Amino acid sequence: MADTKKLAATLRTEFGKGAARRTRRAGLIPVVLYGHGADPIHLSVPSHDTFLALKGNANALLTLEFDGRTELALTKDVQRDAVKRTIEHLDLVLIRRGEKVVVDIPVHVEGESAPGTIHTVESQTLSVRADALTIPEGLNASIEGLVEGDSVRASDVVLPEGVELETDPETAVVVISVPRASAEDLEADETAAEAGAAAGEAGEAATDDDAEADSSAS
């Protein structure tokens, strides 16, 4: 079984924006727990403990203890404050042993492409179907030795045993290219070159005029 983070939760009986603000002022986060055809359960969980439990894992698995019950839940949606980035609200889904779920997994690029090339990440995540208790935290896309024009597609990413790809296999994940100057850059370079040439000609003309003036004075 995957490592789960245990959270002590409490049932919420007040709802609405005002109640949510009071919950957050008390150092708690409003939570909705749903799934398996049951009515949604409204809970609150400690802000600091929840922040630590979700840190670095978008699909964190949580063990919730409340009202004499213990439930396993998967993080489904995290709403954060746009400025402070604190957690404002959580949607969690009930899970059971042996159940498979579809989740988005972050993709990490590893390796180095050929000298002189760069890589562009086209897909930050891949959608997969996995056992709810053994969801991978990340997937690796290798670009080692790839040259211009090469790409890594979803089907090229090696998945852990028991994990199935849900994303279209032909989806581009990473593309390898050689950086080229844009038309605007080329135009700017040409303009700068023309300006430099004009300045040089003006300087030469001024030097010739000074030479003629000196000759007349002699």
pLDDT in tens, 165-190: 999 999 999 999 998 765 555 566 67
CATH number for the domain including 51?
Answer: 2.40.240.10
Which of 77, 95, 113 terminates a domain? The answer is 95
The residue range of the domain holding 45 is: 5-95
- Out of 95, 117, 149, a domain closes at 95
Number of structural domains (the chain) is: 3
Same-domain status, 170 and 105: yes
Do 136 and 173 reside in the same domain of the chain? yes
| 119-164 confidence digits (pLDDT tens) | 999 999 999 999 998 899 899 999 999 999 999 999 999 999 999 9
Q: Where are the beta strands (DSSP E) in the chain?
A: 5-8, 10-11, 28-35, 38-46, 61-66, 69-80, 87-94, 100-110, 118-121, 125-131, 139-142, 151-153, 164-165, 172-177
Does residue 195 surpass a pLDDT of 80?
A: no
Q: Are residues 156 and 195 in the same domain?
A: no
CATH number (domain holding residue 126): 2.170.120.20
Domain boundary pick from 44, 74, 95: 95
DSSP strand pairing (61-66 vs 69-80): antiparallel
Which pLDDT score is estimated for 204?
59
> Is 119 found in the same domain as 55?
no
114 and 36 together in one domain: no
Whether 123 and 78 share a structural domain: no
213 in the same domain as 167: no
Same domain, 38 and 81: yes
For residues 31 and 81, membership in a common domain is answered with yes
Residue 25 and residue 49 in one domain:
yes
- pLDDT higher than threshold 90 for residue 3: no
